[in-house]
Amino acid sequence: MYVKSVFAWCFLLSCSPSSSGLEWDDVNDIFGMTKNVVEYVSKSWDIVDKVPEHVGSENTPLIWFTKKRERSILTNFGRITQIVRSMQKETDDIRSIMLSNLNKLQSMSDVVLNGIQINELLESVRSIENDFKTMEEYKYGENDSNEKSRNTYSSYTLERFADAMLSFTSGAPIKQMAKIHTFIIPDLEGFKFHTHGGIFNILKDTMEGPGMLCDQKQSLQQMVFNLYGTLHLTQLKGFSVMQFSWMLLQTYGKGNFTYERTNQMIQFEKRIEEQLNALKYTMSSSSNIFWRCDPEKHIKDKTYLEVTELLQGYIENEADMNYEHSCMQNCEYYSVAEHKSCFNDQFCAKQHVCNGRILNCQYIDSDMRICQSKFGSSRRYDYIAYEKGRTLGDSSDCKGTMSNVDSWWTFLVLHCSYCFCICDSNEPSSDRHFSLRPSLSNIDQNKVVTGLRFIKIKQMFHLQVQEGDLGPRATINEDSRQWVELPGTSFTFRNKTLKNGVDYHTLSYASRSIDLDNVMAPEKMVITGVKFRLIGSHLNLEVRVTPFDFMTGKLIEPQNKSYWIGNENTELTDGSPRSEIYLNDLDLPTKASISSEPDMSSNKFLKFTHSSIDRDVAQSTIPFIDKQTVDPYPGVPLSGVGIYYKGVKSYGGFIGANVFTYDFSKDLNIKLFSIHGV
């Protein structure tokens, strides 16, 4: 009997045992699928090889025995198609993406240089798929074991099909499988150069380019494995068609095919081993990072979030920044000040005053027209047009209230100037609070983190994790994936039982830094939680890691062996200080006409600050926060989590979450792929 083990990873399947005794206890990935397929091939050969002595006698006519065996063979093939089709139903979208990617590769320079014709590979895949589909028409289902219950194909038709499948024509499965193998392991004059020109490496080299992975929803390493899975499944179908064709011909008395079928099994095993080596090589050098490119259209609160009213451009007369209404100083004198009064109910009486600190005042011009933003906006002003021609912001339209604002003289000697300043006021309407509560997967139920996103609830920003059931060989039950519940409606900065600095962090001028890091789990561990903590005045990312057993998929003593890790470096750390990404005089990132470029390096930080004075009246807080979900598909455990910055020159950019999919290349063991003959 054939016994085999073949590793796999991502094609998930939900099945229940059939009444026929078909066991699908391990069919949750390619490993389980291939195991079951080969076992059914073996069971079918047991039937074909067993010829009772009384066959051909009056009590057991040969024609009756032949039809009975034929039905048994086709019933077992029906069970194989049930396994394959059930899995393929779950992964059709993945296979479609991979086949589409192969089409894209056709015109790439690397492909041309390597002389690979992708259309030939696609044709081989289509040819075997069509052969398998044709043989599906001949199968017996679970309720078709009696030929009287259905219309059946004649033995002549089945024999002709089997002959065609075992021919050596260019379109035969044996030729197409060899061609697929050559695309994975190119052979030039006996020299294997899959490390340079195989389809896995071609895919990796091509998709490493900027923006190439934006529409893939998976890391490059995942993509390489998914291509392997697509081609492996096709070859498994070709293997099955050939094996059952030999069974049919042997049943019809056309020969004993022990050598042929055994030789194919040996060749199948050899190819699996060679393809695995090619896969391991490419995966080990492929990036496992996954992040989200800019969406086609930026939509506030749907694709991005904003910190609001943190540091904001603000017009204030110098007379209103002291109790004496004195104008003896100038604007620059008020580098740190407060609103003290409203002299003669001037413009200060028409606007919402700054109730916090007034910073970095400067004189631009004495007289101006100010378009105040409409009620309910997080902005104070749409634009400011100065008398001498300088305009701050977009003056094309005023949706709010227009005011003419003029500075004045006192005693014809002192000029009371209107200053342009920055307001640092912690208003109740300001969205500037970050939760310090952890977001955790349920380790007691063997759940791990499979995704991450920023979300804002009641003016509070949260890092929220997605969890999923961890299975054997690091598979994830796709149906189990869900976003972990966040704290309830009482979790708000308005709740006096919660403490700033303990339960949440409120940004301010003095405490507005966020660290940019990739926090990686040690080997044989996966991510089971994330949270922000405070290191000095910096928001800093921490992740919870938990050990697990790769083969069983079980977390190892999660309550005792889980722990938190992060990067505690600061800008003052000896040897490895953090470097700052400066965001000075930048426009809104949603105005950029080109896509943001990511900076994925660690050990950096940035400070939330105001937008450009000239282009936005310093009314917005940058960077914005990418709200898009970061949850690779198909689901996979994570070996790392990060906070990163992306942007383009002259624009404020975004911060966002990124994840690292679990690196399977270190767990690929050739022993898992051994297939033994009878």
pLDDT tens, position by position, 22-41 = 443 455 677 778 878 888 88
Q: Is residue 307 part of a domain?
A: no
Examine the pLDDT at 631 and tell me if it is beyond 80: yes
Q: Is residue 673 part of a domain?
A: no
- Higher per-residue pLDDT: 153 or 401: 401
Examine the domain organization and report whether 513 and 553 are in the same domain: yes
The verdict on whether omega for the bond into residue 547 sits within 30 degrees of 0, i.e. cis, is: no
Examine the pLDDT at 197 and tell me if it is beyond 70: no
**460-469/433-435 β-pairing:** parallel
Res 62: pLDDT: 55
- Highest-pLDDT range among 11-15, 99-103, 453-457: 453-457
Examine the domain organization and report whether 407 and 445 are in the same domain: no
Q: Which residue, 404, 424, 444, sits at the end of a domain?
A: 424
Question: What does residue 391 show for φ and ψ, rounded to 5 degrees?
Answer: -125, 130
Nearest to 463 by CA among 657, 278, 662: 657
Report which secondary-structure segment, H or E, holds 580. strand 579-581
Nearest to 76 by CA among 26, 133, 21: 21
Examine the pLDDT at 606 and tell me if it is beyond 60: yes
Q: Is residue 83 part of a domain?
A: yes
Q: Which residue, 402, 424, 446, sits at the end of a domain?
A: 424
Please tell me the total count of domains within the chain.
3
Examine the domain organization and report whether 275 and 341 are in the same domain: no
pLDDT band per the 50, 70, 90 thresholds, residue 414: confident
Q: Is residue 451 part of a domain?
A: yes
Judge contact between 271 and 176, C-beta under 8 A.
no
Q: Give the tens place of pLDDT for each residue, 501-529.
A: 999 999 999 999 999 999 999 999 999 99
Mean pLDDT over each residue of the chain, to the nearest integer: 86
Q: Give the tens place of pLDDT for each residue, 555-595.
A: 999 999 999 999 999 999 999 999 999 999 999 999 999 99
Examine the domain organization and report whether 414 and 451 are in the same domain: no
User: Which amino acid is residue 115, in one-letter code?
Assistant: G
Cα separation, 621 vs 360, in Å, equals 16
Res 488: pLDDT: 84
Res 124: pLDDT: 93
Q: Return the sign of the alpha-carbon dihedral for residues 422, 426, 427, 432.
A: positive
Exposure letters 231-257 (e unless 16+ CB within 10 A, then b) = bbbbbbbbbbbbbbbbbbbbbbeeeeb
Which residue range is the domain that position 532 belongs to? 432-665
Cβ-Cβ contacts under 8 Å for 280 (sequence gap 6 or more): 665, 668
Q: Is residue 632 part of a domain?
A: yes
Percentage of the chain modeled with pLDDT above 90: 62
Examine the domain organization and report whether 486 and 416 are in the same domain: no
Res 80: pLDDT: 86
- The torsion region of residue 572 among left (phi > 0), alpha (psi -120 to 50) and beta comes to alpha
pLDDT band per the 50, 70, 90 thresholds, residue 193: very low
Q: Is residue 143 part of a domain?
A: yes
Res 24: pLDDT: 39
**Lowest-pLDDT range of 59-63, 203-207, 368-372, 448-452:** 59-63
Nearest to 492 by CA among 468, 464, 458: 458
Q: How many CA atoms lie within 13 A of 511 on its CB side?
A: 18
How is residue 569 written in tokens?
């470096």
Res 571: pLDDT: 93
Examine the domain organization and report whether 389 and 441 are in the same domain: no
Res 456: pLDDT: 97
Mean local confidence (pLDDT), 240-265: 92
Examine the domain organization and report whether 396 and 461 are in the same domain: no
Indicate the SS3 state at residue 56: coil
The verdict on whether omega for the bond into residue 428 sits within 30 degrees of 0, i.e. cis, is: no
Examine the domain organization and report whether 468 and 530 are in the same domain: yes
CB-based burial of residue 485 (10 Å sphere; 0-12 exposed, 13-18 middle, 19+ buried)? exposed
Q: Give the tens place of pLDDT for each residue, 341-359.
A: 898 888 999 999 999 999 9
Res 489: pLDDT: 84
Examine the domain organization and report whether 273 and 330 are in the same domain: no
Q: Is residue 264 part of a domain?
A: yes
Judge contact between 422 and 359, C-beta under 8 A.
yes
For residues 433, 438, 441, 445, the Cα torsion angle rounded to the nearest 10 degrees is: -140
Instruction: Kindly list the distances between the CA atom of residue 624 and the CA atoms of 159, 221, 299, 345, 436, in Å, as whole numbers in the listed order.
Output: 67, 29, 12, 36, 19
Q: Is residue 606 part of a domain?
A: yes
Mean local confidence (pLDDT), 336-343: 92
Examine the domain organization and report whether 600 and 464 are in the same domain: yes
Res 529: pLDDT: 98
Per the DSSP assignment, residues forming a β-bridge with 366 are none
Examine the domain organization and report whether 258 and 316 are in the same domain: no
Examine the domain organization and report whether 447 and 564 are in the same domain: yes
Nearest to 631 by CA among 455, 492, 430: 455
Res 141: pLDDT: 55
pLDDT band per the 50, 70, 90 thresholds, residue 139: confident
